[in-house]
Structure 1
Amino acid sequence: MRDRVRSLGYAAYERLLRWELSGTPSHVAVIQDGNRRYARERGVDANRGHSEGAETTEALLDWCDELGVDEVTLYAFSTENFDRPKDQREHIFDLVEQKLRTFADADRVHDAEVCIRAIGETDMLPERVQDAIDYAETRTAQYDRLNLNVALAYGGRAELLGAARDVAEAVDAGELTPADVDVDTVEERLYEGPTRDVDLIVRTGGDERTSNFLPWHANGNEAATFFCTPYWPEFRKIDFLRAIRTYENREESWRTTRARRALTLVRAVENAEVPQARRVLGRFRDALPSGEREAIDEEYEAAD
């Protein structure tokens, strides 16, 4: 009986969260943390935690497809993870190989038109994993409805350092001048994979840090972050919906701030013509609370 009540409460809360959402982020990046701690607290082998975490990853892709997310980047294996015991590394490599091949052949992946890419220093991975990457990328290369980037042997600093070295070599070879170096110059030399900036970073497991993950794509876009305590195998759909709600609240706050700055700027311009000011503010006023919108309207009506 208790389980049934809990299930009903969970379903009701999920419906409430869905009702509260008005949109979704375009690009979600996920740091899947806590697999080993999950296993340790349950007295089972760490490999069990990674296996159950892989099941959560499959569920996440279903949620993203259902909600209309365009791109997902998963932090599956960092460059620091090479320091883990060999048996743990091998189990993770086995899981990655298996999941890549399974996803590449799955009807739901093809029905959802998911394009799979790996980002990172993939030449550091075992040959069997590299073969699985090639297989998954080739099988899904024609799709673009949902982009799935799997970060393997990935480190954000290494990515930026590699791009910086490539730029320096191009300048040294006379292919570029320092004045030619801009945002596009750097982006062309990053790992091939993400097609847009990150809107939302989700990290499970209780730690509140982004661990060198997608610094160019996330920090440059001032991505929203959502940290939660459940370990990755425990992460549920309601946790994901709460993460998206955090993103929406941040976006609403950002739009309001931008609207207030625009209003201050217009008021500060001497002799600004009322019609011109209205045109500028018309682009931003809907982001303001109703009381502020009414005050603006009254202000410019009095100016007529």
Structure 2
Amino acid sequence: MAAKDPSEAQPAPRQARHVAIIMDGNGRWATNRGWPRLVGHRKGAERVKEIVRCAPDLGIDWLTIYAFSTENWKRSTEEVLGLMSIFARYIEREADRLAAEGVRMRFIGDRRRLDDRLQRLMTGIEARTAQYSRLNLTVAINYGGRDELLRATRALCRDVAEGRIDPAQVTEAAIAAHLDTAGLPDPDLVIRTSGESRTSNFLPWQSAYAEYEFTPTLWPDFTPAELAAILTAFSGRDRRFGGVARG
């Protein structure tokens, strides 16, 4: 019997179809150059465009990015207002391109604290791109994982109190259905830039079994080439989900 080609016995490469990114380091990138922090945030927004553009070619179907956390309100008024302006400008300027490239854009987080104009822009681009699926882009604005779980828990409590569901029906699936990410798959890979090794309240429920990659690169310097290298490294990881390693 002819020897079997070893390559035929190898499992299929593991692919990160849902990548979530904590985009950290914009302010430090600018400060290191003696520039105002908002310059770094503007540069970071340009980097978002580049990563969104390359994501489908790298096999990514879902891309979730952490743009503004519930804790970021502690920053200076100037920086917060500047960030909100950058978000609005991104939506206005990128709407046509995102639609043309088949990108569906959604937002997670508690948008009630955001100004009315930004909320309208968010709702508008969600409706405009709802039909597309080449890439599912989710942007977390005024998002915090604990806040998300608190809101989901309160909604479930109301359902129980009003008799819509029985307490025994409060399952993991029921909780997931009340999260901001309902209908989205859990992340396969979470990347944090800037050298910090913490998750910062980002998708704690959804990322329970995600792989993590912490890179020292500041977000404005994070390139498609580095993303591709991280994805290649991910494909060699053994994701066991509580099981044993494949022999």
C-alpha RMSD of the superposition: 2.0
In the alignment, does 2:235 pair up with 1:244?
no
In the alignment, does 2:199 pair up with 1:189?
no
Between the aligned residues of both structures, percent identity stands at 36
In the alignment, does 2:159 pair up with 1:170?
yes
- Give the C-alpha shift of residue 132 in structure 1: 1.4
Question: What does 1:1-304 align with in structure 2 at a 5 Å threshold?
Answer: 22=13, 24-106=15-97, 109-192=98-181, 195-219=184-208, 222-251=209-238, 257-260=244-247
Normalising to structure 1: TM-score of the pair?
A: 0.73
Measured in 1, the distance between the counterparts of 2:65 and 2:116 equals 21
- Residues 47-92 of structure 1 show CA distances to partners (whole Å, capped at 9, x for unaligned) of 1100111111111112212112110101000011111111111111
- Give the C-alpha shift of residue 258 in structure 1: 4.2
Per the alignment, do residues 194 and 236 of structure 1 end up closer, same or farther by CA in structure 2, a change over 3 Å counting?
Answer: farther
* 2:207 alignment partner, SS class: helix
- Residues 214-262 of structure 1 show CA distances to partners (whole Å, capped at 9, x for unaligned) of 111111xx101110111100112222122212321223677994435xx
Retained in 2: the 8 A contact 1:119–1:193?
Answer: no
Measured in 2, the distance between the counterparts of 1:249 and 1:225 equals 13
* 1:137 alignment partner, SS class: helix
Retained in 2: the 8 A contact 1:226–1:246?
Answer: no
Normalising to structure 2: TM-score of the pair?
A: 0.89
Retained in 2: the 8 A contact 1:116–1:137?
Answer: yes
Deviates more, 1:170-179 or 1:153-162: 170-179
More relative contact order in 1 or in 2 (CA 8 Å, sep 6+)? 2
Measured in 2, the distance between the counterparts of 1:134 and 1:243 equals 33
**Matched residues, number:** 236
Per the alignment, do residues 252 and 166 of structure 1 end up closer, same or farther by CA in structure 2, a change over 3 Å counting?
Answer: closer
Measured in 2, the distance between the counterparts of 1:194 and 1:57 equals 23
Q: Which has the higher helix share?
A: 1
The structure that has the greater radius of gyration is 1
Measured in 2, the distance between the counterparts of 1:243 and 1:167 equals 38
Measured in 2, the distance between the counterparts of 1:36 and 1:104 equals 26
Measured in 1, the distance between the counterparts of 2:80 and 2:116 equals 14
**Residue in structure 2 matched with residue 297 of structure 1 by the alignment:** none
Gap regions ≥5 residues in structure 2: 1-11
